[in-house]
Structure 1
């Protein structure tokens, strides 16, 4: 796929993610009528997640039938064209931060990423509640509503602020240990409930880093592209089949990466 094909997909994804955001926000404003299903401890899904994903999948299927899709709610969708579904794959999370969404907390987002030949090419995160679109293309920078983004450049833990995530399927000691290590360094932390939006905040200089001991690819790939293009560093999430199996995620302003990797056991 040439550069023109990537650029066309970026513009298409910007259009689709805004359309999906409009639908998801309508569900948010009528969330008390939603039936909630439980996938695990503190892990929820509703019609809003499923219908938002269906919209994205339908639009991508029409416009990019040769591309594969990996979605949080629907799993793998095969390519409808003649291409290999593993050649170019869209990775989508229709609502990241569903627990916030269902409780009426306006901190959730929609995430899309494009992986081409095993390399992350596009990342988009849309926050419909604040009309903020974070979008980037490999080698072309990252922007929020058209304005360039940069990571903070911070290097002193005593002035730092790190986003942390936690999933209830993992040992709590991993999360508690990360909090303790940060506090001992004089560093602040935030647990906001959306890994994707947390990564967008790293790219936009609102947080100095983000760490979670394990996430799925749909939670993080869009945000990792943004952090990279905004001048940050992150671990190789796609290693060891991270696309399908998930991995730890660490993304930070450059000076924080090595010391944080040591603190959380990734170095």
Structure 2
């Protein structure tokens, strides 16, 4: 028999899940509006010239933050553009307003809006909306993962040689280390692909389109929503210690069970922790 505490937690998560869906509606609509007028956007750089942020990123995050503050003012909040705000409920919203800013600014469809909610047990809610492609990946702990309302699962058909592995990299890791990772994957006969949004490739793992996704360093806002998607779709994830240092980057791996250990070994991913 379920205890009152468990029932209360389930109700609280469902309330946030329903709210996150509505937030994603508004955020995606605003992002699409900016996408249609991308040539007029102001663009700034962050760590280096390829690490860009636009006024669209900031506007979408502010929209989501405003909705969270309105409906769940005591929850903690971590966002890519405006940082971390502590809370008192044990729930933390983790948001990336536009993952794949470079594709967004260049008129490509591979960008998405990411909204997650975490608690002491990890990612409990994950929403990834892909406005241009009209796809929404959604998951709530214990309820499975859906794509536009239909259930999806990680693939059990393909392996690293017959399927495709998503791979990401960035300036947080030395080029020589990244090169070695690619060399080892190619030597093992792995078919891999690289796209502009790590979050979107992780969502594709949950939907069975990729056998896995690996990146030496990612931030929580890039992966928390997708980690929930993958877990609920029957996949495996490399733990991400977001509670220890919310803004710190860590290695990320999400994969179908049959390839998870092989990817971990081939990439020596733990060296990047």
TM-score, with normalisation over the residues of structure 2?
0.92
Task: Establish whether residue 22 from structure 1 lines up as the match of residue 25 from structure 2.
Answer: no
Task: Establish whether residue 63 from structure 1 lines up as the match of residue 63 from structure 2.
Answer: no
157, 160, 165: which one aligns with 1:157:
160
Structure 2 residue runs of 5 or longer lacking an equivalent are 1-7
Structure-2 residue corresponding to 1:43: 51
Root-mean-square deviation (CA, aligned residues, Å) is: 1.5
Structure-2 residue corresponding to 1:238: 241
Structure 2 distance, partners of 1:32, 1:240, is 38
Structure 2 distance, partners of 1:24, 1:199, is 20
The residue correspondences of 1:35-184 to structure 2 (distance < 5 A) are 35-41=42-48, 42-79=50-87, 84=88, 87-154=90-157, 156-184=159-187
Is contact 1:217-1:242 (8 Å) kept? no
Deviations 1:25-62 (A, max 9, x none): 11011000011100023110011000000000001110
Q: Which runs of 4+ in 1 moved over 4 A?
A: none
Structure-2 residue corresponding to 1:264: 267
Structure 1 distance, partners of 2:30, 2:177, is 36
Is contact 1:111-1:218 (8 Å) kept? yes
Is contact 1:179-1:189 (8 Å) kept? no
Is contact 1:143-1:149 (8 Å) kept? yes
Is contact 2:220-2:242 (8 Å) kept? no
Structure 2 distance, partners of 1:189, 1:141, is 27
Deviations 1:130-151 (A, max 9, x none): 1111010111111011111111
Q: Secondary structure at 1:186's aligned position in 2?
A: coil
20, 30, 35: which one aligns with 1:13:
20
Q: Secondary structure at 1:60's aligned position in 2?
A: helix
Task: Establish whether residue 222 from structure 1 lines up as the match of residue 256 from structure 2.
Answer: no
